[in-house]
Amino acid sequence: MSPLLIVVLRVLAAVGLLLLNGVVLIYMLRKVLGRLHLRLGPTELGPAGMFQTMADVVKLLTKEDATPGSVDRVLYFLAPAIVFVPSLAAYAAIPFSNKIVAADLDMGLLFTFAILSLMPLGIFAAGWASYNKWSLLGSMRSIAQQVSYEVPLLLAALPPVMIAGSMNLGDIVRAQHGSVWFIIPCLPAFVFFLIAGLIESNQTPFDLSEAESELVAGFATEYSSMKFGLLFLSEFSNVFIFAALMVTLFLGGWSLPFVDPGLLAGIGAPIIFLVKTYLVIFVFMWIRGTLPRVRIDQLLAIGWKFLLPATLLWIVITGVAIKTGQGLFGGGS
Amino acid sequence: MTDPRHLAGHAGWLTPNPPHQVDFVPTSLTRAPTGVDTFDTERMVLNMGPQHPSTHGVLRLLIEMDGEEVVAAEAVAGYLHRGIEKLAEHRRYNAVGTLMDRGDYMSGIHNELAFALAAEKLMEVEVPRRAQWLRVLMSEINRIASHLVWYGTFGLDTGAMGQFLYAVRDREVLLDILEDVTGQRMMFNYVRPGGVVADITTSAVDKIQAFLATIDMYLDEHDALLGGNEIFQARTRGIGVLDKETATAFGLTGANLRASGLGFDVRRDRPYAAYDEMRFSVPVAEEGDCYARYLVRMGELRQAVAMVRQCIDGLPEGEHTAKVAKVLRPPAGEAYAAVESPRGELGVHLVSDGTEHPYRMRYRPPALYALQAAEAILPGTMIADVVVILGSVDVVLGEIDR
Amino acid sequence: MRPDTATVDRFLSHAGVSDVEIDSASMLGVVCRVAPAQTKQMLCALKGEGDGFDFLVDLFGIDTGEAVDVVYHLRSFSRDEEIYVKVALPYGADLASVWEIHPAALMPERECAEMFGLTLSGHPNPKHLLLTKGSRPALLKSERIRTAEEVRDR
């Protein structure tokens, strides 16, 4: 087998797994929301309705791909790709275990954020190209909220970086092996990151760009068939990435407390990582099933008036604590 | 509307008449519209409905917007017009109830009751006491069901999803009870001039007892789930303020009026059926905002539960209907009867010319008045507030359009 | 509930409205009948200064066979009394808007005008409310509806 073929096969396998991940997440959302709402969720297709989402993917693929007459065709077709590709590329730097990481970058955290900041571009393109007022409003909101929350998001991720002394996501996890999970010394930062992550991934109570009770379906209003499917999948992929980042930065990544990392080599580590990530996603969905939605001006006010100063303050506190008590958190440099 | 250009979308669809702009400035604008226009921005006219998830049926709103802020708004009704008032002129008195049901489809018992009361006033019929109590019982059960739907959809309007299904769970029990007694889940045709059409069944009494055993707990749960939520309060407090003057000027009634500080309740101040024998209080709030309307309706739910309890405990013995002729021919005259429907004062103004058909039947739709009050306070709010305000005044389009 | 005639007289004489036919024997309550030109003056007089009939319960029309009776149903919360004002308008006449006195009349007036074939004047938005533009005035007695038999045998 030629090396090129192997590379192609690996890429295909990886993309396939990532798509499968999205499909599983959608199934999970339906089940979790169903239970929260005193319903059953899908039950018919397969055991416990497990194949319902696969059937939906097939449905979306075979549906008529209706394009409204007055759209900006180039952007309209490009937008789902602009949204979807970064949501896949962001998986690259996330360490599923000590070895399983697509790109072990020294600037892994920065890379992930940089890739994710491409998403508003795609959402805006979708809203603009659709030639629909609801889409436009949704995408405008999306720009406002994602741009203003990238700053607190990155700042909230800094305390673990400062303690670990590295931006390599693998190193951050390894730093937590030796000491405690960073959620304990950085609990406020974890909460800030959770809020900013919910906003960045468009989850309730901050799902303003597609607020269905106000904007019908927001930026995705005019999309149908698999183009809608891509927008939909990328949302779930985003949720996964933010949950994975949270697990990596604050919840010890693939490690478990009081367990020798050596024991977890091989298949154990990625499973632990996935279980933790899915638990965080469950919390996301729990919030989604319960809370009302905030208004756009309230959302921006939270970001600029509370979250930004609070994260900055916490960075200062962390810095002072590291300097005054060198070695207090084990991995301090 | 100085500059009717459009940022995006088809510019041609706006009707030649400019959006409804009233010189009357309501005294309760939450924010003055921003006048800052230092760089060249354009306003956008948004067509909300009739197919929109949050317009509670087939309401259409034309909203002129400056960014996210509403500059002018017009409510367009009539998509559900069935001509109930005209049809009633061609029906016998006993058959009008089926039409009334289809007015405000969330509270059929109240609509029928309003018509029956007006007809009874004209005929001067003595309605048996048991029938009056049954009317109160069914009215209050219907009120709980209607308010639960309002509670659920109001939550949906603010973006919460879960509590809607919790409310529908409780409503399902009530619809079962109503079905047991009346034979129908929504279009009852239960209250007729002279009494009610059927006595309560023993199975329905059992169901009501079972419902009463749990509802207090569930109401606490509902209240905690939505009303106790910080985000919900941030979305509703100080939003859509209708002060007392605006509320009375626009003819608001019912819970909307009581949330603005005027405690007028038809059940207490113009007692009908057996309400003069009931013990209940009338919740009133002063603020007039969406949260006050929420509080008043939640208080009403508890009062309604209390009244259902009283009715079940003290239901008098006797006939469930008076002896009335098969074909009613009330003497010529005019009568107005009003009931406190979940949406406010639902009045029926009945004109009889002595024949078997009503000469004129006017259906006073409380939701119509609520809609025009809401329309008047929309300018100055944000698009997200629009759906919350509309949800808080509880409009039902079946009633507005008739 | 039902105001006594003296109260009504006091309101009317205070504002200088005359030629009012007051019928307090009706089953409905106190019904005042005025000429179309005097409607606004009448409503203003009854509205009083803070203690009058300042709440418009309802506004609608009745086709009496000779004219369209427009009924203004008013209420005073402070006095807890109700009163009706009736104005007989010839068919196709002009319905002068009273929204400046009672903003609650905005939508009911539109409905009344379209349902009885009246023209609406002085209204900020005199469009149809419920019927499609160009529809026939549905509530006039001259407008027939098809009977069940006619619909069935269509």
Q: How confident is the model at residue B35 (pLDDT cuts 50, 70, 90)?
A: low
Tell me which chains share at least 3 CB pairs under 8 Å with chain B: A, C
Contact A231, A126 (CB under 8 A): yes
Contact B58, B71 (CB under 8 A): no
The stretch A211-239 carries a mean pLDDT of 79
Give the pLDDT of residue B27. Answer: 41
Residue among B122, B110, B115 at smallest CA distance from B94:
B115
- Token code pair at residue B19: 């959006």
- Residue B31 pLDDT more than 50? no
Give the pLDDT of residue B19. Answer: 40
Give the pLDDT of residue B297. Answer: 92
Partners of C55 on chain B (C-beta within 8 Å) are 248, 251
Contact B157, A213 (CB under 8 A): yes
d(CA A139, CA A81): 16
ipTM for the whole predicted complex goes beyond 0.90: no
Partners of B378 on chain A (C-beta within 8 Å) are none
What contacts B386, CB < 8 A, 6 or more positions away?
A: A214, B48, B61, B63, B70, B73, B378
Average pLDDT, chain A: 82
* C73: Cα within 13 Å, side-chain hemisphere: 22
d(CA A329, CA A176): 9
- Listed as ranges, residues in chain C with pLDDT below 70 are 15, 154
Residues of A with CB under 8 A from a CB of B: 33, 36-39, 70, 131-134, 136-137, 141, 204-205, 207, 211-216, 288-298
Give the pLDDT of residue C154. Answer: 67
Give the pLDDT of residue B38. Answer: 61
Give the pLDDT of residue C135. Answer: 81
Distances (CA, A) of C91 to B264, C60, C128: 37, 15, 18
Q: Phi and psi for B142 in degrees, rounded to 5?
A: -65, -35
Residue-wise pLDDT for B165-203, tens only, equals: 899 989 999 999 999 998 888 888 899 888 888 888 888
Distances (CA, A) of B294 to A12, A41, A134: 54, 30, 28
Give the pLDDT of residue B34. Answer: 54
d(CA B148, CA B191): 22
- CB–CB contact B86 C56 (8 Å): no
Give the pLDDT of residue B305. Answer: 92
- Token code pair at residue A299: 């959302």
- Residue B36 pLDDT more than 60? no
Distances (CA, A) of B3 to A47, B23, B378: 59, 18, 19
d(CA B400, CA A307): 45
- Residue B18 pLDDT more than 70? no
Q: Kindly report the number of other CB atoms within 10 A of residue B110's CB atom.
A: 25
A202: alpha, beta or left, given left = phi > 0 and alpha = psi -120 to 50?
left
d(CA A68, CA A71): 6
Q: How confident is the model at residue A186 (pLDDT cuts 50, 70, 90)?
A: confident
d(CA A158, CA A250): 11
Using DSSP's 3-state secondary structure scheme, residue B17 falls into coil
- CB–CB contact A291 B44 (8 Å): no
Give the pLDDT of residue B5. Answer: 38
- CB–CB contact C62 B336 (8 Å): no
d(CA B69, CA B9): 18
- Residue B398 pLDDT more than 90? no
Mind telling me how many Å the CA of C27 is from chain B's nearest CA? 6
Q: Give the position of tokens 């949302």.
A: A235
